[in-house]
């Protein structure tokens, strides 16, 4: 078992290079982030090289107040593509492996068409760099009105587009809150999954309590042959270092 610290939530009050160093000291095997664009890429890359941690991924920008991405918004396609280009440039500069293209709040056939067109643009742009494009359904409790509602919708888009570098971000927290039966969904969707994230359900705390049995999730991922770091995208109750018994247990027992 290997784990990635999501620095959008863990050590979020620190500059990104400092957070990378804190993640390494705490025993994480990789890092990922949300919106790193205020940080100089050279400083981020230096911290990654110093610690030896890979940067698994980053997000396209929100797109302004009240937005949560742009790529499914029919009236903002030029901005969406500029956001994809920005994310790709930053990913290349720091050596990130994936870009999460955020869809935004939208619905309907026109939004679907725009989203697929923007995803094709992203996949084509990412292909020469070996970068994966990720899409992620968000639950309606946290992000009501988000375009990607569930893994069935996301899976249909990935299958239809048939782009080798387009994959599913499987966040156990979001899937659990929206669809339930996380283990069965993992098993069914494994061929489409590019990244797995974890957090307790329903409070999005550390994966050591709540409705989902994470030891069972880890056992399932082991059985399925998952070898990539699992993203710890949760809200810590206090100091991150004080709440990592779950990770130490997972590494010790597998």
Q: Which of 110, 187, 233, 241 is catalytic?
A: 233
Residue 32 known to be catalytic = no
Give helix 77-94 / helix 109-126 axis angle, nearest 10°.
Answer: 30
Q: What are phi and psi of 51, to 5 degrees?
A: -90, -20
Question: Residues 39, 49, 127, 136: which is the catalytic one?
Answer: 136
In three-state secondary structure terms, 71 is coil
176: its two tokens: 């659990």
Q: What is the DSSP letter of 229?
A: P
Annotation marks residue 39 as catalytic: no
Residues whose CB falls within 8 Å of the CB of residue 109, separated by 6 or more in sequence, listed in order: none
Measured between alpha carbons, how far is 250 from 202 in angstroms, rounded to an integer?
Answer: 21
Report the catalytic residues: 136, 233
């Amino acid at each position: 078992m290997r784990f990635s610290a999501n620095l959008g939530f863990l050590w979020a009050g620190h500059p990104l290079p400092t957070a990378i160093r804190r993640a390494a000291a705490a025993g994480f095997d990789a890092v990922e982030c949300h919106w790193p664009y205020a940080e100089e890429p050279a400083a981020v890359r230096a911290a990654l090289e110093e610690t030896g941690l890979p940067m698994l991924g980053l997000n396209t920008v929100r797109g302004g107040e009240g937005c949560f991405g742009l790529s499914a918004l029919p009236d903002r396609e030029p901005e969406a593509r500029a956001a994809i280009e920005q994310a790709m440039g930053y990913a290349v500069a720091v050596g990130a492996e994936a870009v999460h293209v955020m869809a935004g709040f939208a619905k309907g056939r026109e939004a679907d068409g725009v989203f697929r067109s923007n995803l094709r643009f992203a996949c084509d742009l990412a292909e020469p760099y070996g970068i994966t494009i990720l899409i992620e359904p968000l639950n309606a409790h946290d992000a009501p009105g988000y375009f990607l509602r569930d893994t069935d919708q996301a899976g249909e888009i990935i299958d239809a587009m048939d782009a080798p570098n387009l994959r599913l971000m499987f966040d156990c927290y979001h899937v659990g809150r929206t669809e339930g039966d996380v283990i069965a969904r993992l098993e069914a969707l494994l061929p489409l999954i590019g990244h797995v994230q974890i957090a307790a359900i329903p409070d999005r705390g550390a994966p050591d309590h709540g409705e989902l049995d994470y030891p069972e999730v880890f056992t399932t991922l082991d059985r399925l042959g998952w070898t990539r770091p699992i993203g710890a995208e949760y809200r810590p109750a206090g100091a991150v270092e004080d709440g990592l018994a779950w990770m130490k247990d997972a590494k010790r027992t597998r």
